[in-house]
Structure 1
Amino acid sequence: MHLVIVFYNIGGYHAARLRETYLVCQQKGWDFTAIEVTDNTTDRPWGKMDDLLSFEVKTLLPIAATPNTIDRSPFSQVAASLITECLTDIDPDIVAIPGWGFPVSRAALSWCQKHRVPTILMSESKQDDEPRQWWKELLKSQLYIKKYDAGLVGSQQHKDYLVKLGFAEEKIFLGYDVVDNEYFSTGASRARQDIISTRKREPNIPHKSYFFTANRLIERKNIARLIEAYALYDREINSEDSWDLVVCGSGQELDNIQTIVNNYKLENRVHFPGFITYDRTPDWYGLASAFVHPAIQEQWGLVVNEACAAGLPILSSNTVGATRELVVEGKNGYLFNPEDKQDMANALLKIHRLESASRDRLGIASQTIVKKYHPSVFARGIFAAIDSTLLVKNSN
């Protein structure tokens, strides 16, 4: 058997899932190949991944060998053409494909249909991600969803949405949205144990306590409103005692967000270190006092997994998909309405006013909760999905 898993761009959390899957393939004596569209992107420049990749990876449009004139996005028609060539060369027995909206995903699905290769849909879409129109949903179901043989999703919300689109419930398995928990827990612990060395590695980490958020700086991530909420928090708490705010990431909203910071005269308390590569993130999680995820719309939000694994209290929008599984109100954090800046500010105030020992208990609870979302769960889900497709294939 030869299993192929397709991703747009393999970052740290993809690598962790793929490693676990590769280990099972080795135990079974199966071949395994990962395919990515590109090895680098402007919005997620992960950094060097080679040390995390112990398996074969096919890159359709490597940045070093692809002219700048060629679109390397998931909507690239070039990538859609290349993946059919790649699958033909590999000749896999089973292919796992991310979603249905990208041309590269549709091309992979079409190739598998033509060659009668079973497919696994990897999805984290949920009903409330955006307004849904019945006719578009019908087309989506008929053209793509019902052509997959099994599904792997992050949570019950994602499963419910696929069922609504006509996918057989018994063919949908859980385990998609996981990260390398040990990487973040170990790295954050190391950062806390030797703060002097941590600050030498990352001299831009604030010396005060700080709230930490890591996001692409685009409108739906809601960082502008977080700044406004932080201003309300700062006004309530004496500025000498208030925590700083670290906004990690890059994107088109940066100038607008910085203008808001300047308008509130928060330049000395809100920090923009840019995109922090995968190897550096544990230090920033490690010295943070709490994690904030303010997104208005978020299918899952893997940064919540990372922050939980790093042992942080979680403050999150109640619309973030991961919160149903990873945030228990009052146990490891607090939820807020992402469109209400006062509600968001109240959450910041609530965590600030806790005793240090109480915050520590919330962080420990985060690590306990996220243990159920280990990369091995992804591998179990993939192979449960594979088993379901093979049973059908063998019965025919």
Structure 2
Amino acid sequence: MRIVICWSDISGYMAACFRELASRPDIDLKVIAWASGRRGSQAAFEDRLTAGFSCRLLEPEERDNFTTIRNEVIAYRPDAVLLCGWFVDAYRRLPRDRELTKVRFSMGMDTPWWGTPRQYLAKWKVGSFVRKMHCVIVTGERSWQYAIRLGVDRSRIRRGMYGVDYDLLAETFSTRSADGWPKSFLFAGRYAPEKGLDILLEAYRNYRRRCAESQSNPWSLICCGQGPLASMLSGKEPEGVTDLGFQQPKEMLRRFTESGVLVLPSLFDPWPLILVESCAAGLPVIASDACGSAVEMLRPHHNGWIVASGEPRSLGNALWEASQSNQLPSFGKRSQCFADAYSASKWADRMGDWL
């Protein structure tokens, strides 16, 4: 089967999935994706992530060029095309092209249902487009709820849009355990308001004050990322905080090994993959209730903590509880059980069956 995947930003976790799908003997795969680290990109992944599968990286000036993208797709003569969503106009026009009328189109969807007026209007704006898809592949429960409200028949909704390099990430657990569980928190994500970086820093200051009052040694906080709020970590960084900037996948393996708990205090985050990667690496996680993937990846006091988004006090309490816990290795092993379902191998199995 010849498959074309039309994606947005190329990333380490999806590159592993594409590579696994391309390795299947009954699949001929071509990926069309946005080049990372260019103007307008929210990440800075290296182009060499595409090694191991056929990929056409679109430069910023090409992302909206329907003719260029159309010609790439038609030239490959696909049996099936997977679109990353409806938000890319050039991709959304492909199913209407007369040269592609016999191709099966499917679509991924990670937007959670929040019941906003804009989402109610979406049924009339994009509902007809979504309902024409061969199947709609959602991330989890929250986006399933949205797909239902767009009018997609339940029999055509699949769960499991994303995957991660589980096998590689899982190896970090034994290294971490062998050296003694690290006493540091890890934040990895965009330094942007929606990721709650300011909330995290306030909560961390509260946590350190509590440590001082109880005469206990505070854990450090490692931050990995880039974005408009980077200045909050520049110059004289808050005490106990280290900013490592954007990390490539190989560098993140080391960060996972050196950290004891992942913290993600997002105010809006449809289905953050960093939670899945951290669970695959065997880390307990602290996440806000705004993180869509927490529904699938986190059980309170089983492998981590869920806190109310936008509340530094609640987050600070979770930081304290995590740092005082003697169950973190057990929490980490449980995290891996949740993440295993999202391995690149199982993702490729799903796509081969569904598309």
- Aligned residue number for residue 393 of structure 1: none
- Aligned residue number for residue 89 of structure 2: 103
Report the 3-state secondary structure (helix = DSSP H, G, I; strand = E; otherwise coil) of the residue aligned with 2:97: helix
- Aligned residue number for residue 32 of structure 1: 29
- Aligned residue number for residue 184 of structure 1: 169
Where does structure 1 differ by over 4 angstroms across 4 or more consecutive aligned residues? Answer: 190-195
Partner deviation per Cα, 1:320-369 (whole Å, 9 max, x = no partner): 111111101111001000111111111101101112xx111111111122
Q: For residue 53 of structure 1, what is the amino acid of its counterpart?
A: A
Cα distance, 1:129–1:246 mapped onto 2, change above 3 Å:
farther
Is 1:219 equivalent to 2:193 in the alignment?
Answer: yes
Counting aligned pairs with the same residue, the percent is: 23
Report deviation, 1:107: 3.1
Report deviation, 1:131: 5.2
Is 1:273 equivalent to 2:247 in the alignment?
Answer: no
The number of residues matched between the two structures is: 351
Cα distance, 1:84–1:351 mapped onto 2, change above 3 Å:
same
Question: How far apart, in 2, do the equivalents of 1:85 and 1:211 lie?
Answer: 47
Question: How far apart, in 2, do the equivalents of 1:81 and 1:183 lie?
Answer: 38
Cα distance, 1:82–1:129 mapped onto 2, change above 3 Å:
farther
Report the 3-state secondary structure (helix = DSSP H, G, I; strand = E; otherwise coil) of the residue aligned with 1:330: coil
- TM-score, normalised to structure 1, is 0.82
Cα distance, 1:321–1:359 mapped onto 2, change above 3 Å:
same
Report deviation, 1:379: 2.2
Report the 3-state secondary structure (helix = DSSP H, G, I; strand = E; otherwise coil) of the residue aligned with 2:31: strand
Cα distance, 1:245–1:164 mapped onto 2, change above 3 Å:
same
Report deviation, 1:113: 8.0
Cα distance, 1:296–1:54 mapped onto 2, change above 3 Å:
same
Q: For residue 140 of structure 2, what is the amino acid of its counterpart?
A: S
- TM-score, normalised to structure 2, is 0.91
Question: How far apart, in 2, do the equivalents of 1:210 and 1:109 lie?
Answer: 48
- Aligned residue number for residue 64 of structure 1: none
- Aligned residue number for residue 78 of structure 2: 92
Paired residues for 1:1-396 under 5 Å: 1-24=1-24, 26=25, 28=26, 30-38=27-35, 40-41=37-38, 42-47=41-46, 49-50=48-49, 53-61=51-59, 71=61, 76-78=63-65, 80-111=66-97, 114-128=100-114, 132-142=118-128, 144-187=129-172, 189-190=174-175, 209-238=183-212, 241-255=217-231, 257-258=232-233, 267-355=238-326, 358-386=327-355
Report the 3-state secondary structure (helix = DSSP H, G, I; strand = E; otherwise coil) of the residue aligned with 2:341: coil
Question: How far apart, in 1, do the equivalents of 2:171 and 2:68 lie?
Answer: 39
Question: How far apart, in 1, do the equivalents of 2:242 and 2:345 lie?
Answer: 35
Where do 5+ consecutive residues of structure 2 fail to align? none
Where do 5+ consecutive residues of structure 1 fail to align? 62-69, 196-207, 387-396
Question: How far apart, in 2, do the equivalents of 1:278 and 1:308 lie?
Answer: 15
| Contact residue 174 and residue 381 of structure 1 kept, 8 A | no
Report deviation, 1:49: 2.9
Cα distance, 1:377–1:158 mapped onto 2, change above 3 Å:
farther
Report deviation, 1:137: 3.1
Cα distance, 1:334–1:133 mapped onto 2, change above 3 Å:
closer
Q: Tell me the C-alpha RMSD between the 2 structures.
A: 2.5
Question: How far apart, in 1, do the equivalents of 2:28 and 2:151 lie?
Answer: 32
Q: For residue 31 of structure 2, what is the amino acid of its counterpart?
A: A
Cα distance, 1:313–1:187 mapped onto 2, change above 3 Å:
closer
